[in-house]
């Protein structure tokens, strides 16, 4: 799964990930903004891919949309080689053009597989319980759900966890339930806000050491201007920082901004 013939030659990569709905998208953007890393958002690509291939048709922000996405992730997990190749091509094409260290996140499962082919400097794994992840997924997209609907989402997340665990273990020998044995730094985010989880990451000794070791590869942050598009109102902005809030519509969802460069 996710295995290509050649290892790509790119800038150092840091994987910051976790199981689906662990908060990796938001925290990765905090890291990118604060430390001038390039952020490659594999999660948003998967969402766009699900929509463009007709697997996800329900409106964004609805429970049906999230359930369809979970079904699409299951399709990927079941050894859909064509989809896996698209994901790999997207990630490698994005990170091959950058010249500075890059944060990659892609629902955890894919990152694990990609890590054996990318020049990964370190892996930071966000741990959260099924209950935490269910609440975060529904809260982030402001979905009102009944108790039974929450249970449905929780069960689908658990099914996906089990499916990916089996796939990763059989193909790569990776035990997803024991990330600490894979030489990753595990960050327990239970009962934390994403801001608190970011602060916890920023004070971890291995993260500080990793950043310091890469400092010489960082360009002058204020010289690198990029174009960002708000996917809510379509406004295009130019900035030398990661855009976190749209000045037109106040969108602050990191998954609803697109890096046009």
Q: Do 228 and 207 share a structural domain? A: no
Give the whole-angstrom CA distance, residue 253 versus residue 250: 9
Q: Residue 36 and residue 29: Cα distance in Å, rounded?
A: 10
Tell me, yes or no, whether 8 lies in a domain: no
* Overall domain count for the chain: 2
DSSP 19-66: STTSSHHHHHHHHHHHH--EEEEHHHHHHHHHHHTTS--SPTTSHHHH
Q: Identify whether residues 64 and 116 lie together within a single domain.
A: yes
* pLDDT > 80? residue 126: yes
Same domain for 213 and 229, yes or no, is no
DSSP letters along 146-204, please? -HHHHHHHHHHHHHHHHHHHHHHHHHH---TT-GGGGTPEEEE-TT--HHHHHHHHHT-
How does pLDDT run across 89-122, given as a tens digit for each residue?
787 777 777 777 888 887 766 666 666 666 677 8
Q: Model-level pTM? A: 0.73
Domain that holds residue 259: 222-261
81 pLDDT higher than 70? no
The pLDDT > 90 percentage for the chain reads: 9
Let me know if residue 1 belongs to a domain: no
Mean pLDDT of the chain: 78
Do 118 and 169 reside in the same domain of the chain?
Answer: yes
What is the model's pLDDT at position 115? 63
pLDDT at 55: 92
Stronger pLDDT, 168 or 261, i.e. the higher one = 168
* pLDDT per residue as tens digits for the range 233-244: 888 877 656 667
Q: Given this model, what pLDDT does residue 18 score?
A: 82
- pLDDT at 218 (0 to 100): 66
Within a domain: 242: yes
């Amino acid at each position: 799964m996710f295995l290509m013939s050649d290892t790509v030659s790119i800038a150092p990569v840091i994987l910051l990930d976790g199981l689906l709905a662990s908060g990796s998208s938001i925290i990765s953007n905090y890291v990118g903004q604060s430390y001038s890393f390039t952020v490659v958002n594999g999660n948003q690509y998967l969402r766009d891919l699900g929509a463009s291939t007709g697997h996800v048709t329900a409106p964004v922000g609805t429970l049906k949309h999230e359930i369809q996405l979970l079904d699409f992730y299951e399709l990927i997990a079941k050894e859909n080689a064509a989809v896996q190749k698209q994901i790999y091509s997207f990630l490698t094409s994005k990170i091959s053009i950058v010249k500075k260290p890059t944060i990659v996140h892609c629902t955890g499962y894919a990152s694990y597989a990609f890590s054996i082919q990318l020049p990964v400097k370190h892996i930071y794994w966000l741990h959260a319980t099924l209950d935490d992840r269910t609440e975060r997924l529904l809260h982030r997209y402001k979905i009102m759900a009944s108790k039974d609907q929450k249970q449905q989402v929780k069960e689908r997340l658990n099914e996906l966890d089990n499916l990916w665990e089996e796939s990763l273990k059989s193909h790569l020998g990776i035990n997803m339930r024991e990330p600490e044995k894979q030489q990753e730094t595990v960050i327990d985010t239970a009962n934390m806000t994403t801001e608190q989880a970011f602060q916890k990451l920023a004070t971890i000794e291995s993260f500080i050491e990793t950043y310091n070791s890469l400092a010489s590869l960082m360009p002058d942050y204020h010289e690198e201007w990029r174009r960002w598009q708000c996917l809510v109102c379509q406004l295009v902005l130019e900035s030398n920082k990661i855009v976190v809030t749209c000045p037109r519509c106040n969108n602050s969802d990191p998954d609803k901004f697109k890096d046009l460069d």
